[in-house]
A and B are shown apart, each in its own frame.
Chain A
Amino acid sequence: MLRTRVLLIVPLAAGLAAAPARAGDATGASAPYEDLVEVMATLTWHLHDDTYRFPPPKDPTGHDLYKLSLTRLESWEKRFPGRMRDVTTLGRAEALEHLGEYRPAAEAYGQVAAMSESPLAGKAKDGAARARAFADAAGLPETGDGIQEELGALRRKLDAWGSLIDKYKDTPYESLALTEEERLERSTTRLVVEHRHEIEHGDETAEKALRFLIQKHADSKHLPVYVLRLGDLYADLAREYVAANDRPLAFNEDEFISRTDRALDTYHKVAVWDGVKEKPEGQARFAALEAWKTATLSQYR
């Protein structure tokens, strides 16, 4: 009886006393590689992410994964200089490419491609060609002496990115090119909105430009921002109306209400848009404009 009890207790006690050993803990000579493989694992996991439609990936602590991977790879290179250089350089190149730093990425890819004994040289060669093409497009000028020159420069750059979008269609790199194209179209639209007083039919052109941005990039993660910018334009038009008609007899209440309500409607879309980080901004802009509308109406009533 006592023997049976001992037989039962011993395995139970052993099970409680020692937690199962983790098979994954690297020790001794393999320890240095553990950090490297972990960084490469999390980075490689997210290399195919669609960063045009969705926000860039974050690690469990909330850091931008591409930036974090780049820093950790650089740290590893400092601690273990010369070791696994093709792996770390390729990882850095991939992280840099996803951060939009195409020229340094091309250089890093090029370094790995030049390591003829590395099995990663072939992959790096493709990466180098792609990153160079992206870097060439990214290097084109975006500014000019006047608004027309600036718009012309942006158009040429957009054409360059357009051809890259076609070339890398349905590959993981299409989203990188789309992100660049979107950024340029955003700049173009901002330019038009900022200079609308200098352009013929500037208000209509600015509205059309913003609506074009919203329609073309309806899948983009930045869509709520564009809706807010359209709301800003409408709000500015309402304020300009008040400034131009500030004498009591010139002020037309219905006209003012229709202008402010158009802006309020636009802000409201973002204010009730669950899950987007622009929602609090939309709510605040809506509340501010609504307060201004009420104050303005009471002033003229």
Chain B
Amino acid sequence: MRRLALLRLALGAALLLGPVAARADDLLGDATRADGALEARVHAALALALDGDPHAAVRAMQALDRERVAQGQHPTGLTDDVQLLTAGLEPTRESRRLALEDLLDAHPDPVVERIARHALDDDDAAAASQLLSDDRHNRRANLINEAVRPMGVFSGAVLLAALNPFLLAGSAVDSIATTAVNLWNYNRLSPREREALVRYRTIIQHDTRTYDASEVVRGVQTLSAKRAAALCDQTVGDAKRALDAGNLDGARYYVASTQQLADCDKQVAKTQERLAEALAKRTAADEASLWPADDAIVPAGSLEAEDYEALARATALGEPDAMMAAAQRFGRSHPGSAMSPSAKLVVAASRDLAGRRPEARAALEKLAADDSRVGHVAKGILEGPDFGQLTAMEAAERHHTRNVAKYVLFGGVDGRNAIYTAAQLGAQGLQAAPSLGVVNFIGIATRAWRAWRHDPVPNQEVIDRGEELLARNPEGAEAKEVHARLSATYERAGNYERALMHYRATADPDPKRIAKLEGKLADHLLDDAKQSPAAPLLFSAIARDFKGTDAAKKAEKLLKDDPPRDAIVLDSDLLRANPGLMGPTALDLDPVLLDGDLYNGELADKGVTLADKQLRLTLRSGGPSGERIETRDLTDEQYARARAAAEETLYTKLLTKQDRDPEEGRFERYVPIYITGSLGDSGLTVAPGIKTRPYKSPDAELYDDRRPDEE
């Protein structure tokens, strides 16, 4: 009975639903036919474009759009893409630019817009013009900003400037001096100009049939002349630096190099003279070292001569004991002899040969006080590579300490600060002291904080001396002490790996200190690892090799949270913004997962992860974590399709990402002025300025010839 009722119900339902299903079939068939027709039209247009008639392809797509609009449908949205293709095939640079500008006027989709804008921006002539325009703007802006800034140093007395014009005069002097320096350097060849020159030359190589040819040629001529002058300046500067550093061979090379440069003779003339003089001096010194200037000293009597010969023989044989015995005998027998200093030198040499360097050093130091020629020799030995390294290292350390103190007390001591301070003191005398005191107190506190956080003075000199000493005598008596000093120096310089290595080589390394240095090294490595493309590998190395440190714990956590290397993560925001990704040609997910209704399942913020032929869904749940993971296995075909769709979406996202400068103000294009306040080395500064345009070339380093010491 029940079965019969069910049958009746089924028949009734079939009678009722029959026409509806037939209508659905019709609709599906219509849709499929329409899709097929659309594909045929798009295919025909693409074939035209690829087979050499792109304009016909654009016309075909425009006709299709008109038909669709007439039928009440949306346009295809593909015409802009075909127009982009057509623009690329335009025969000349000008027609290509016009086609791209027309395309942009038609509001294309974001991807086409980005590609078209990139093509327009990448045009060498346009880019060169923009570079030169930005360069001119920045030169003027810097000139004005630097002139205004000295007026902005805050102190109590500035408020009384109207009553005391002398104070303002101090800032004015600073401003004038800075402006004069900037004007002197105003025409210096900039990296932007270098890039513009390269771009102009590239246009000439590419295509000379451009309407901008005359502008390009003019640009090349002007910038080439400027670059030649800059190259001459650079080479002469290199020669001067080498000369100042006593590197005469280096200076000779650079001076000779200028001979190959056009119009560089006058500029190098003075340096050339200086070099010739220095070379002549060196030759004279070399000559002098070969031929002693003093008259030879001869022993006074025959006994003295005999003892002296014995001393000379022992020295020539190089036996420390025999040398010491002969020297002592000579010293005892002939205390007032003119040859005594020589005997003392032999004493020092025999001690050093016997491995007693501290005693040898003491003997040499005593002898160095002697005004004789042997005394000078002893002094030379003490300053030489065998004895002078530790002294040089100590001197370098003292120099470093002095420089840090100077930095904290006076800041980066440059002409501006000196002029400013001198002008204020000159203008106000002792009255200026309180206001300067306020500025200085703030500045000292700031700089002391900075110096504590990060060593502001280079440590290279100390490192060079110490490393050289250890390289010469790794097992020497001073080695342990040098290791300790180098460890401290490397730690100051932030090179914890070397600091640790040297600390382990000290006389009595403290395990606590080793642990502290290891912690610092691990932190440093972790920071680097985060920026590295091989981050997971580095994290696991840190977790393994620095067990127990905070960095190792952080690395372990990062490894745990990190998805597999080849995984693709699509968060829920991305899925919402690209609903096509949920469809059957992509991830094939039910759209209810993003409808906001928790009862039918909802993707959490982490979205989905594609890896290892699986789709991992992070769903919201009522559990303690608020999330649960659901994993779906995919066939090869499904996985390949899902990855292809995900990669395409991520690429589109990357391509259409807004690359606006986050520091760029909303109205900056119209009012490029800013007011800045900073607590810097010179105290509190508040000053208005014209915003400069940053140089954003991805190849900026390829247009910069400055060396670190010139910056």
**Which residues of A are in contact with B by a Cβ distance under 8 Å?**
20-38, 40-42, 44-46, 53-54, 59-62, 68, 71-72, 74-76, 78-80, 83-84, 86-87, 90, 118-120, 122-123, 219, 257, 261, 264-265, 268, 272, 274-277, 279-280, 290, 293-294, 297
A30-B78 CB under 8 A given contacts A24-B112, A275-B699, A275-B702? yes
If over half of A's interface residues share one DSSP class (helix, strand or loop), that class is named, otherwise mixed; here it is: helix
Contact B655 A275 (CB under 8 A): no
B627 CB–A CB distance under 8 Å: no
A99, B653: Cα distance in complex, Å: 26
Q: Which residues, 182 to 225 on B, are CB-close (under 8 Å) to A? A: 194-195, 197-198, 202, 205-206
- Write out the residue numbers on chain A whose beta carbons fall within 8 Å of the beta carbon of B47: 86-87, 118-120
Assess whether B273 is interfacial by the CB under 8 Å rule. Answer: no
Q: Mark B57-92, 1 if CB is under 8 A from A, else 0.
A: 000000000000000001111111110110111000
| A48, closest chain B residue (CB) | B89
Question: Is the pair B585, A275 in contact by a Cβ cutoff of 8 Å?
Answer: no
Query: Is B39 an interface residue when CB atoms closer than 8 A count as contact?
Result: yes
Give the residue of A40, A68, A75, A268 whose beta carbon is less than 8 angstroms from that of B46.
A40
**Is residue B441 contacting chain A, with contact meaning CB distance below 8 A?**
no
The distance from the CB of B385 to the nearest CB of chain A, in whole angstroms, is 11
- Interchain CB contact under 8 A, A120 and B51: yes
Residue positions of B touching A, CB distance < 8 A: 31, 34-35, 38-39, 42-44, 46-52, 74-82, 84-85, 87-89, 106-115, 118-119, 194-195, 197-198, 202, 205-206, 227, 231, 234, 247, 249-250, 253, 256-257, 580, 585-586, 640-641, 643-645, 647-648, 651-652, 654-655, 698-699, 701-703, 705
Cα–Cα, bound, A25→B80 (Å): 9
Chain B residues near A40: list those with CB within 8 A. Answer: 46, 49-50, 85
CA distance A28 to B38 in the complex (A): 11
Docked complex Cα distance between A42 and B109 (Å): 15
Residues from chain A with a CB closer than 8 A to the CB of B34 are: 29
What is the CA–CA distance of A23 and B76 in the complex, to the nearest angstrom? 9
Q: In the complex, which residues of chain B have a beta carbon less than 8 angstroms from the beta carbon of A38?
A: 81, 84, 111-112, 115
CB within 8 Å for A290 and B76 given contacts A38-B84, A45-B85 = no
- Taking the nearest CB of chain A, how far is it from the CB of B610, in angstroms? 13
Q: Which of B82, B88, B206 has the most CB of A within 10 A?
A: B88
Residue among A24, A54, A86 making CB contact with B77, cutoff 8 Å: A24
Return chain A residues, CB-CB under 8 Å to B108.
22-24
Contact present for A24 and B640 (CB under 8 Å): no
CB neighbours of A79 from chain B (8 A): 585-586, 641, 644-645, 648
Q: How far is the CA of A59 from the CA of B194 in the complex (A)?
A: 24
Nearest-Cβ distance from residue A20 to partner chain B, whole angstroms: 6
Question: For A44, what are the chain B residues with a Cβ–Cβ distance below 8 Å?
Answer: 49-50, 85, 88-89
Q: Can you list 5 residue pairs at the A/B interface with Cβ under 8 Å?
A: A37-B82, A44-B89, A60-B118, A277-B699, A277-B702
Q: B658 to chain A: closest CB distance in Å?
A: 13
Contact call B77/A272, Cβ cutoff below 8 A: no
- Structural contact, A279 and B702, CB atoms closer than 8 A: yes
- Whole-angstrom CA separation of A36 from B654 in the bound complex: 17
> Could you say which of A41, A42, A84, A274 contacts B82, with CB atoms under 8 Å apart?
A41
Known: A24-B109, A54-B205, A60-B655. 17 other contacts (CB 8 A): A23-B80, A37-B82, A40-B46, A40-B49, A41-B81, A41-B88, A53-B205, A71-B647, A78-B643, A79-B641, A87-B47, A122-B51, A123-B52, A261-B256, A277-B699, A279-B702, A290-B250
CB distance from B76 to the nearest CB of A (A): 4
Q: Are B109 and A25 in contact (CB under 8 A)?
A: yes
Contact (Cβ within 8 A) B253 A264 = yes
CB-CB nearest 3 A-B residue pairs: A45-B88, A26-B77, A75-B644
- Interchain CB contact under 8 A, B205 and A78: no
Closest residue of A by beta carbon distance from B249:
A297
Contact A30 B115 (CB under 8 A): no
Q: With CB as the reference atom, state the residue of chain A lying closest to B76.
A: A30
Q: Chain B residues near A275 (CB, 8 Å)? A: 194-195, 198, 699, 702-703
Q: B74 near A294 (CB under 8 angstroms)?
A: no
**Residues of chain A contacted by B106 (CB below 8 angstroms):** 23-24
Query: Which residues of chain B are near A37, meaning CB under 8 Å?
Result: 42, 46, 78, 81-82, 85
Give the complex CA separation of A261 and B462 in angstroms. 31
Q: Are A294 and B250 in contact (CB under 8 A)?
A: yes
